Amino acid sequence: MRTIARIDIKNENVIKGINLEGLRKVGNPTEIAKKYYSEGIDELLIIDSVASLYGRNNLFNLIKSITNEIFVPITLGGGIRSLKDIENSLNSGVDKVAINSKALEHPNFLKEAVTNFGESTIVVNIEAKKIDDKKWEPYKFCGRERTNLNITNWIKTIQNKGCGEILLTSIDKEGTETGFDIDLINEVYELTDKPLIVSGGCGKINDIQIINQKFPNVSVALASVLHYKTLKISEIKKILR
């Protein structure tokens, strides 16, 4: 299992919300990224939380200051809407991009992205909200807009178009620190043969242990527990050994 630090950014600040809303400033992105790197994080996931909404893409200078000194895989998400956006992201030193809204609007964009940059570069970001018992809907624009699709069909489309990894965020659990959405993870885990990263809800070490035991090969993306120092990276690594 990989331990991934998730850093959501708004206006050059690291922010953290609950259910992808009510954002609170946490600190400076470069400092926070370097701290997690020095503590032994496996990967970094950087999400520009308003880029897709406003069609902005101004993170690159900030990203460059991070990638110059951090030598673990870095994924950038938020506002990736064209092949040019992917190229610019890679040129700023990141290794993978996470795509959500654009893929939901034009699933063929995934195919184009995989053909041009290789599947290992492309992560599909799914932001899922529960709509009924055992039913979830993927949302656009960082949890702000509905799509009227269901997770099952969306995973089938993704499998068909191609990607290297799937990042699955539970909007219902995000920022709540009440544990991962096991039902949602179970649903997606059964449907895909892609490496899966789960995000949203981790509040204690036991939450990570549950994922590790139930879902071999699934990785976790952590935000609150790291930002608010509830868990130490070394402590997580110890139980995963």
Partner 1 sequence: MKKITIIDYGMGNIRSLYNSVKFIGYDPIFYSQKNKIDSNFCILPGVGAFNQAMKLLIEKKISVELEKFIKNKNNMLFGICLGMQLFFDESSENFNTDGLGMIKGKVKKISTKKKDILPNVGWFKTNIKQTKTFNYLSQFDNEKFYYVHSLVAKPDEMTNEIATCEFNGEKFCAITAQNSNIIGTQFHPEKSSKIGLEFLDCLIKNSVN
Mode of pairing for the β-strands spanning 13-18 and 219-222: unpaired
Residue partners of 58: CB distance under 8 A and separation at least 6: 51
| Single residue of 101, 194, 223, 227 touching partner 1 by CB under 8 A | 194
Interaction residues for partner 1, span 101-160 (CB under 8 A) = 117-121
127 in catalytic set: yes
Based on the shown chain and the rule CB under 8 A, indicate whether residue 219 belongs to the binding site for partner 1. Answer: yes
CA-CA distance, 151 to 174, in Å (whole number)?
17
Q: How far is the CB of 213 from partner 1 (least distance, A)?
A: 17
The residue among 35, 98, 90, 28 whose CA lies nearest residue 62 is: 28
Site for partner 1 in 41-100 (CB under 8 A): 42, 67-69, 71-74, 90-95
Distance CA 130, CA 150 (A): 10
- Contact criterion met (CB below 8 Å) for 146 and 139: yes
Residues pairing with 219 in the sheet: 197
From the list 42, 85, 127, 177, the catalytic residue is: 127
Nearer to partner 1, 120 or 178 (CB): 120
Contact between 179 and partner 1 (CB under 8 A)? no
Catalytic residue flag (residue 8): yes
Which residues contribute to the site for partner 1 (CB under 8 A)?
A: 1-2, 37, 40, 42, 67-69, 71-74, 90-95, 117-121, 164-165, 193-195, 217, 219
- The catalytic site residues sit at 8, 127
